[in-house]
């Protein structure tokens, strides 16, 4: 008996926040070395890869989800990270004429500082690896992913991890208990290179000399390992935050408001503009989500760590009762 070849493979992959992000000086290659602590959160992208009748890689996007993400700003051609992921895998595995339709179900804010495009790339790598039976190992997928974006290896891995290098050199770290957060999405995104560039400019203006970040913040790792949100609240830190606030000053008042409404701490997620507020527990996060929504913010309670890229749960059967 032969094993049936799957026609569609669906994979989910998480968005992330950086609970700690130290950024070094601008390097000659245009990147910055970082020492970050990533946390995958329970807001997932999904990519469905379907075998196509004719050669070519096509991309469609279904937007929406609890944060009502619009599809605008997402390229649908070969620049989309899922198309680049499929092409990279086909090139590596020696598939000359890949034929696949890729459907992204978008839940993570676009250009939001939560690595949504990286999650899509990670999901596409895993889905095409399964669809084409190419059998790449997790390490091979991570290495292909790192060429697509610094955050892609973490979207494959999920959980909580220290990221060194440009964020792609990962070491998983322990998290004793789920941490509860409330995300606040913005109506428009911020460009990651522009926010890194603003950080360089702010440092030049102030005369601050950035150190090469060599290790992740030990106090952050201890608070994660202990599952202690109150301790974590005192030490979460993002070197890109002043730059994101400088590009988008309106974020400051929302950060302030989240704290007034009971968040233990608030931070810009990655290069922003999504904000992440840390809550004491799940009930506090639900209350904060309600309070922020009542004031017109696009807020969502999530938890982390969450799993990395994995086969998506099958759709719930239709209820015929």
Ligand X SMILES: C[C@@](CO)(OP(=O)(O)O)[C@H](O)COP(=O)(O)OP(=O)(O)OC[C@H]1O[C@@H](n2ccc(N)nc2=O)[C@H](O)[C@@H]1O
Ligand Y SMILES: Nc1ncnc2c1ncn2[C@@H]1O[C@H](COP(=O)(O)OP(=O)(O)O)[C@@H](O)[C@H]1O
Contacting residues toward ligand Y, per CB under 6 A: 73-75, 80-82, 104, 110-118, 120, 189, 192, 270-271
Q: Could you say which of ligand Y, ligand X, none residue 104 binds, taking C-beta under 5 to 8 angstroms by partner kind?
A: ligand Y
Q: Is 16 a catalytic residue?
A: yes
Contacts with ligand X by CB under 6 A lie at: 18, 21, 30-32, 34, 36, 113-115, 118, 149-151, 166-167, 192-193, 196, 270-271
Tokens 């596409």 -> residue: 124
Q: Check whether 294 is labelled as a binding-site residue.
A: no
What distance in Å separates the CA atoms of residue 124 and residue 97, rounded to the nearest whole number? 17
- Residue 67 vs 261, nearer CB to ligand X: 67
Q: Could you say which of ligand X, ligand Y, none residue 306 binds, taking C-beta under 5 to 8 angstroms by partner kind?
A: none
DSSP class of residue 307 equals B
Tokens for 119?
């999650």
Torsion sign (Cα): 61, 63, 69, 71 = positive
Largest CA distance in the chain: 70
Q: Check whether 317 is labelled as a binding-site residue.
A: no
Q: Least CB distance from residue 35 to ligand Y, whole Å? A: 18
Q: Least CB distance from residue 119 to ligand Y, whole Å? A: 8
- Residue 118 vs 261, nearer CB to ligand X: 118
Q: Least CB distance from residue 96 to ligand X, whole Å? A: 27
Q: Could you say which of ligand X, ligand Y, none residue 80 binds, taking C-beta under 5 to 8 angstroms by partner kind?
A: ligand Y
- Residue 158 vs 270, nearer CB to ligand Y: 270
Q: Check whether 139 is labelled as a binding-site residue.
A: no
Active-site residue, from 22, 106, 120, 151: 151
Q: How many Cα neighbours within 13 Å face the side chain of 166? A: 17
Per DSSP, the three-state class of 102 is: strand
Q: Check whether 114 is labelled as a binding-site residue.
A: yes
Torsion sign (Cα): 15, 152, 126, 84 = positive
Cβ-contact 43, 108 below 8 angstroms: yes
What distance in Å separates the CA atoms of residue 180 and residue 8, rounded to the nearest whole number? 33
Q: Could you say which of ligand Y, ligand X, none residue 159 binds, taking C-beta under 5 to 8 angstroms by partner kind?
A: none
Q: Least CB distance from residue 115 to ligand X, whole Å? A: 4
| Phi, psi angles (nearest 5°) of residue 129 | -60, -40
Q: Check whether 15 is labelled as a binding-site residue.
A: no
Q: Could you say which of ligand Y, ligand X, none residue 185 binds, taking C-beta under 5 to 8 angstroms by partner kind?
A: none
Q: Where is 89: in which H helix or E strand?
A: helix 81-93
What distance in Å separates the CA atoms of residue 259 and residue 254, rounded to the nearest whole number? 9
Residues 6+ apart with CB under 8 A from 65: 43, 105, 106, 107
Residue whose CB is nearest to ligand X in the complex, by number:
270
Cite the annotated binding site for ATP by residue number.
109-119
Residues with a catalytic annotation lie at 16, 151
Annotated binding site: 109-119
């Amino acid at each position: 008996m032969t094993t049936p070849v799957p026609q569609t493979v669906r994979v989910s992959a998480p968005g992330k926040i950086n609970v700690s992000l130290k950024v070094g000086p601008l390097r000659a290659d245009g990147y910055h070395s970082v020492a970050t602590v990533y946390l995958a959160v329970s807001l997932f992208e999904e990519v469905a890869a379907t075998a196509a009748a004719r050669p070519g890689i096509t991309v469609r996007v279904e937007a929406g989800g609890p944060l009502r993400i619009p599809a605008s700003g997402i390229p649908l051609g070969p620049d989309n990270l899922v198309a680049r992921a499929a092409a990279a895998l086909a090139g590596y595995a020696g598939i000359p004429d890949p034929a696949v339709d890729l459907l992204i179900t978008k839940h993570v804010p676009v250009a939001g500082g939560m690595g949504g495009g990286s999650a899509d790339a990670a999901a596409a790598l895993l889905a095409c690896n399964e669809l084409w039976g190419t059998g790449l190992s997790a390490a091979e997928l991570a290495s292909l992913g790192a060429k697509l974006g610094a955050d892609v290896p973490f979207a494959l891995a999920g959980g909580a991890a220290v990221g060194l290098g440009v964020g792609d050199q990962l070491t998983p770290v322990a998290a004793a208990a789920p941490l509860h957060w409330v995300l606040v999405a913005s109506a428009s995104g911020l460009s990651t290179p522009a926010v890194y560039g603003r950080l360089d400019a702010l440092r030049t203006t102030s005369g601050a000399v950035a150190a090469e970040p060599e290790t992740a913040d030990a106090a952050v790792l201890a608070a994660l390992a202990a599952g202690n949100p109150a301790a974590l609240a005192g030490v979460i830190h993002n070197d890109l935050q002043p730059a994101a606030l400088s590009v988008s000053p309106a974020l400051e008042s929302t950060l302030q408001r989240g704290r007034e409404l009971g968040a233990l701490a608030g931070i810009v997620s990655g290069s922003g503009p999504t904000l992440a507020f840390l809550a004491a527990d799940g009930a506090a996060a639900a209350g904060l989500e309600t309070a922020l929504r009542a004031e017109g913010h696009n807020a969502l309670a999530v938890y982390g760590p969450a799993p990395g890229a994995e086969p998506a749960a099958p759709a719930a059967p239709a209820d015929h009762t």
